[in-house]
Amino acid sequence: MNILMVGDVYGEPGRQAVAKLVPRLRQEHAIDFCVVNIENAAAGFGVTAPIAKQAFESGADVLTSGNHIWDKREIVEYITKENLLLRPANFPAGTPGVGHVTVKTGPHKIAVLNLMGRVFMLPLDCPFRKADEIIPEISKETPIVLVDMHCEATSESIAMGWYLDGRVSAVVGTHRHVQTADERVLPGGTAYITDLGLTGPTDGVIGVDRDQIIQRFLNQMPIRFETAKGPAALQGAVIVVEPETGRATSIRRLRVPA
């Protein structure tokens, strides 16, 4: 199975990149399943129901998120009804929405698990123990398990990759908006990359207007961030998985100008 996983979609440039490129990439790479991290799609902060629906219409099968999932208050009602939009599974019990989902694709099923790190982030439940709790259950339905590990610290992403090696098909990092060059298939058959990167404007600073960020560093004054203008790109990875075993055979990094 060919799986496309897309890094954090940022603002309108990111949404346009998804709308333009995901259908093309699905055809070019014979993609069977597509996961898109959508949490920065609403001007960099959160996601709305119309934006989520647009991503599904563009070819996403499941949407993942992270620490910005609640930035738009109206998403709470939507996420309680739409289980294909995930929030991190290690949010406390009773949080709206779900942190994992299993989807039928042709003759096979694919499970997606969304986790969030704790280093320099919210004090959520332990993502490692949450993975231990959930993976045995979803693995009863399918050997194909994809994990979006939304982290600030690269070390936490790497640790999760090794921790889950051989137990899931892929562990991909999101959140930092900088694509890493460490993609590989780990010894146990788990495809891994520390960060898929940013789907959005390429001439800003992690999606934000660069002049605003430079001024923020210079004077340390608070400012309302605006999405960068100019060219955009889609960043992510194509992962090939054996459907019978769930083992990954390859992972290829993508950076496609929009």
Q: Report CA torsion sign: 163, 168, 170, 174.
A: negative
Say if CB 177 and CB 10 are below 8 A apart.
yes
Distance CA 19, CA 204 (A): 21
Q: What is the DSSP string of 66-100?
A: -TTTTSSTTHHHHHHH-TTB---TTSPTT-SS-SE
How many residues appear in the chain? 258
Dig out the tokens for 57 from the structure: 């219409």
Q: Report CA torsion sign: 226, 20, 2, 185.
A: negative
- H helix or E strand, kind and range, residue 248: strand 248-257
Active-site position among 68, 150, 175, 177:
68
Q: How many CA atoms lie within 13 A of 96 on its CB side?
A: 13
Query: Which of 63, 66, 20, 251 is CA-nearest to residue 177?
Result: 66
Distance CA 169, CA 144 (A): 6
Active site residue 68: yes
Say if CB 152 and CB 120 are below 8 A apart.
yes
Q: Give the number of other Cβ atoms within 10 Å of residue 252's Cβ.
A: 14
* One-letter amino acid of 223: I
Distance CA 131, CA 168 (A): 10
Catalytic residues: 68
